[in-house]
Structure 1
Amino acid sequence: SPWMDIAHELPQLITSHQLRSRVHQMPQLSPQQLRGREELHLAHLVLSFITMGYVWQDGEEGTVQVLPRNLAVPFWEVSQALGLPPILSHADFVLANWRRKDPDGPLEMENLDTIITLPGGDSLRGFILVTVLVEKAAVPGIKAIPRALGATVQGDEESLHRALEELAGAIEAMREALRRMHDYVDPEVFYSVVRIFLSGSYHITIVTKYIAVAASKAKARRAELNGAGPAVGKAPSALEDKGTGGSHIFSFLKSIRDTTREGMIRA
């Protein structure tokens, strides 16, 4: 409960710069009380979001290098139990961070909500949930890959053709899901909140809109405010041309695009 109470107040605690003081008052809890992988994954989700907020509460210039023991120890223990790194990962940010509003309803945008969020409002929520739908669209394609490999080994052209058609359909469904990003996410709001977990051909368009263009606008705002103190909502400069893993955004994405094109089967 102490972890969940803080996690559900994260946007307000971060924007009011009160998160660190709340964390310092948090009891040190033992993850040994957690039951099963579902509760462990929820704990990892919650502790990773609290950790990210704790480190970045005061922006790029006010980051901290050391976590308090009552946060670091349980986060490390939960991570060890799951075999995950003690960081906010895609597994937390997206894969474990959604729920159905109506438990019996469909896995569609209108029936989805996030479990934990950060400052960024509906734009951040939209980014997470659109990414969930991209992951959902990928499932038939992932299932088709081993069938295609098996058909290749067995020389079964009909099964191979069918599996490749399913894979192509999944890729197109992923593209269609990703296009919904334009409907739900404000680039300027999103840019100031979190790095994008993207790669691939159509993703270059998304990255241009949500990173490159937003970065140039942020630079312009900083120039206007130069000498007037720190800009409110200033976007971290490290995000202006870097991807999630520190690689240069467009060099990385174009290399993925080109490698994919080289491997395409021409009809």
Structure 2
Amino acid sequence: MRDYMPPAHRQLIETLSALPPLRDFIFSCSSSDLCQAYNACVSALVDVRNYHLNIVTKYIIVPGYKAQAMGCPLSGVGTTGLNNAGTGGSSLMVFLKSTRNATQKALILEKSTVSKDTEI
């Protein structure tokens, strides 16, 4: 995907990827305001991912099922229900849901019960 990005965007992603995770810094910081701001950003991203799931379901998955039910000769071309291939050939809905779930796991709920080493 980075090959398709403008060079400046690709450089930003590569620079950020080389740095320690922001979540680790937020977790170690004692500022509750900073933690709340971080969680608000992550929650907003979870909302975007949920919205994206709904859009994909409404405009790709459901029409694919309808086309199959009607016996459309092109129903298998590009739309095969929940097994649609997404980016890199992954199962579309499985990929989108796992991405959303991984984003949710990035939330810092309570410092006393969440490990700093939790993978995101």
What TM-score, normalized to structure 1?
0.27
Structure showing greater Rg: 1
